[in-house]
């Protein structure tokens, strides 16, 4: 299997779906000639032209509203939101229009659009360009939320998202665009609501989202050196959430740490821990634990910024204490 970058995998997913379906198009700031600041859409405008790869003005509410209207009339727009922090600007169009049209029309209308955007700190982009707002979107009924962790995952989840008849927001860690990984040349899809068990374990379950999956995998290696067996699970999508896989794993190991880069309070970690507590409580040998970003604006200072997000060493240390009964 060939190794390609995250950017290439996303680019392939978009191009393949645009070739297959003429109703698919992409719009956003600098998606055409510039190929986005992260060069994810490079080459698309040369193949599909400016009618299907649309550079927009710097007006997120405006082009998001256009995308909702286009999807209601039979198109399948992909909205490229340059930074996930700009979700605040499109929240009315996303939460009040896209998410509710199917319900409010009694099922007569669908809004098949995809918003692809990014998340994640430690890129030295300061407080307004470093947020991880996935919990904010997942809180809204009617929106599906995907959080890929590798080039393989991002291509499979993106192709599924484009063909879905519901609005989907796909969050990509901005530090992952140059990550390389195996991606099949043949077509494949990753279904929503189906978590991926990356490694089997018996002592503790490490549940991660997006780049925190790699943090969990690294933590599992550290724990293995101490004789602790960790099961690692990639959630893949938080809406819908694969409760069954997570619950069954925790029933087996009796312990769990949930790791997400969003702010810890009222976030993804809180929701997953709550569901596990409801459905696996009598199997627990230790309190369920969560690790998220500090509840502070992301600092610009590299020294301070690095302290705000979970690390593999931090996860491994907490996991070891749970297994040893020290927490």
Task: Indicate if the alpha-carbon torsion angle 146, 149, 151, 152 is positive or negative.
Answer: negative
Indicate the DSSP class of residue 255: -
Quick one: how far is CA 314 from the chain centroid? Answer: 22
Alpha-carbon torsion (269, 214, 293, 85), positive or negative: negative
User: Is 33 annotated in the active site?
Assistant: no
Among 12, 29, 60, 305, the one annotated catalytic:
60
DSSP annotation of 81 reads -
Say how far apart CA 135 and CA 145 lie, in whole Å.
Answer: 9
Asked if 276 and 248 count as a contact pair (C-beta separation under 8 A), the reply is no
CA distance 127 to 220: 31
Work out the number of other CB atoms within 10 angstroms of the CB of residue 303.
Answer: 7
**Cβ atoms 119, 291 nearer than 8 A:** no
CB–CB of 230/215 below 8 Å? no
* End-to-end Cα separation, the chain, in angstroms: 43
Q: Which of 12, 17, 129, 271 is catalytic?
A: 129
CA distance 145 to 197: 19
Our answer to whether residue 129 is catalytic in this structure is yes
Give which of 22, 32, 117 is closest to 75, Cα–Cα: 22
The residues annotated as belonging to the active site are 60, 129
């Amino acid at each position: 299997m060939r190794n390609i970058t995250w950017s290439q995998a996303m680019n392939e997913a978009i191009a393949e779906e645009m070739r297959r379906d003429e109703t698919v198009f992409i719009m956003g700031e600098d998606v055409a000639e510039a190929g986005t600041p992260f060069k994810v859409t490079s080459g698309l405008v040369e193949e599909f032209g400016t009618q299907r790869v649309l550079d927009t003005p710097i007006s997120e509410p405006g082009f998001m509203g256009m995308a909702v209207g286009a999807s209601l009339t039979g198109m399948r727009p992909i909205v490229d939101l340059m930074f996930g922090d700009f979700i605040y600007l499109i929240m009315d169009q996303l939460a009040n229009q896209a998410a509710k049209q199917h319900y409010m029309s009694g099922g007569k209308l669908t809004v098949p659009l995809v918003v692809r955007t990014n998340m994640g700190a430690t890129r030295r982009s300061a407080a307004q360009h470093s947020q991880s707002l996935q919990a904010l979107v997942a809180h809204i009924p009617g929106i599906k939320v995907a959080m890929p962790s590798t080039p393989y995952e991002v291509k499979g989840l993106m192709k599924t998202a484009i063909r879905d008849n519901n609005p989907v927001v796909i969050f990509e860690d901005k530090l992952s665009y140059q990550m390389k990984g195996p991606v099949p040349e043949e077509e494949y899809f990753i279904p929503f609501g189906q978590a991926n068990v990356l490694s089997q374990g018996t002592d503790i379950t490490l549940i991660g989202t997006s780049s925190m999956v790699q943090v969990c995998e690294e933590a599992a290696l550290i724990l293995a050196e101490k004789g602790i067996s960790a099961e690692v699970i990639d959630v893949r999508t938080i809406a819908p959430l694969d409760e069954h896989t997570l619950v069954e794993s925790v029933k087996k190991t009796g312990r769990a740490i949930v790791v997400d880069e969003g702010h810890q309070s009222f976030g993804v970690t809180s929701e997953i821990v709550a569901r596990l507590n409801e459905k696996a409580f009598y199997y627990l040998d230790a309190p369920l634990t969560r690790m998220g970003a500090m509840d502070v604006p992301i600092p610009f200072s590299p020294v301070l910024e690095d302290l705000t997000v979970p690390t593999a060493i931090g996860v491994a240390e907490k996991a070891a204490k749970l297994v040893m009964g020290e927490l």
